[in-house]
Structures are given as C-alpha cells and as structure tokens.
C-alpha cells in the first residue's frame, strides 16, 4: 500500500469528471487499498479517486466510530433520493480546515460494485448519506464549497492559495 498525494482546492484537476471503471482488476484493487490507507492516514471519513488525481468512479468511506468499517463503492449511482433534506457541516480533505453547512437529501439508495466487483445496493441516511453524496460529487468534478455563496467561496479560495504560498516558502 502507498499513501497518495491529495489534490487541494483550488486545483483545476478537482473539476475533472471521472469515467466509469471497466473492470475491478488488480490495478483498481491497488487503487482502493491506497485510497483507504490515504483516507485513514489523513483522518478523513471519505475519499474520491478524483482527489488523488485518478479520474475513475471509485470512492472509499468509513464513518464508523472505530474506523474499521471501510465501504468501497465503484461506479456508484443514486437510484433513489428522499424529498427530505438535511443540513450538516461538511469538510473535505481537499479543502483542509474549512467546514460549512450544505443541504442534501436526508436518505438515498445507491447501487455500486464493491472492491471485489460484486454488485450491491446501499440504503443510507444521516452522516453516511451525506458522505456518499459528497464523494459522488467529487466524481462529477464538484467540490462542496461550490454549494456556498460566491463570497464565501472566494474567501476560501484566497485562504487556500495563501496557505499554499506559505507552505511553498517554508
């Protein structure tokens, strides 16, 4: 396994639309292992392949308390979303240190392949539903700050660019 570098907003590559995975083969299984290791190391609850500059439809998630229930979704598709919405504070490994409220469907059903290429259906609500929708947005090239007002988004962009310059100077 290997840790993968995570792209940071604003980075144009985060806006790439991911392609479907054609086969869950050894290459994809290695990607999944590396993404899980990278997510756990960064203390994240979810990571999309887009964030590690691989533009294929793969996401990994773990919202469990003990960080021992990895969920792998390959080619995920939402098959149902509730009319009910929920608002929650979101953060993102690609936008470190920024948290803000986003409104999303309160419950969803998703069909996907697992890490072995088997089809599965997941019913999710609460934090898991939020996390799946957030990660699936990444696969469409969308970062959660795009739900915020242009004013907030520009402030975040400025802050991220400033932090990047400081890191480069250090």
Q: Give the binding site for Ni ion (CB under 5 A).
A: 92
Based on CB atoms, which residue is closest to Ni ion, 92 or 132?
A: 92
Catalytic residue, candidates 37, 90, 103, 135? 135
To Ni ion, the closest distance from the beta carbon of 93 in angstroms equals 6
Based on CB atoms, which residue is closest to Ni ion, 71 or 92?
A: 92
- CB neighbour list of residue 166: distance below 8 Å, 6 or more residues apart: none
> Could you tell me where the beta strands, DSSP code E, fall in the chain?
46-48, 58-61, 71-81, 85-90, 100-105, 107-113, 119-125
Grouping H, G, I as helix, E, B as strand and the rest as coil, residue 82 is coil
Based on CB atoms, which residue is closest to Ni ion, 91 or 117?
A: 91
| Residue 135 among the catalytic residues | yes
To Ni ion, the closest distance from the beta carbon of 119 in angstroms equals 25
Q: Is 151 exposed, middle or buried (0-12, 13-18, 19+ CB in 10 A)?
A: exposed
To Ni ion, the closest distance from the beta carbon of 24 in angstroms equals 23
Residues marked active site are found at 135
């Amino acid at each position: 396994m290997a840790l993968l570098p995570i792209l940071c907003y604003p980075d144009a590559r985060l806006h790439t639309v991911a392609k479907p995975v054609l086969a869950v083969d050894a290459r994809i299984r290695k990607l999944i292992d590396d993404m899980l290791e990278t997510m756990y190391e960064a203390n994240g609850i979810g990571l999309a392949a887009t964030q590690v500059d691989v533009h294929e439809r793969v996401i990994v998630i773990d919202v469990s308390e003990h960080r021992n229930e990895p969920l792998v979704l390959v080619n995920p598709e939402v098959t149902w979303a509730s009319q009910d919405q929920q608002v929650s504070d979101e953060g993102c490994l690609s936008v470190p240190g920024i948290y803000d409220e986003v409104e999303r469907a309160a419950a969803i059903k998703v069909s996907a392949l697992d890490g072995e290429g088997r089809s599965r259906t997941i019913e999710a609500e609460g934090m898991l539903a939020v996390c799946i929708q957030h990660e699936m947005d990444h696969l469409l090239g969308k970062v959660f700050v795009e739900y915020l007002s242009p004013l907030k988004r520009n402030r975040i962009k400025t802050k991220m660019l400033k932090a990047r310059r400081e890191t480069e100077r250090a």
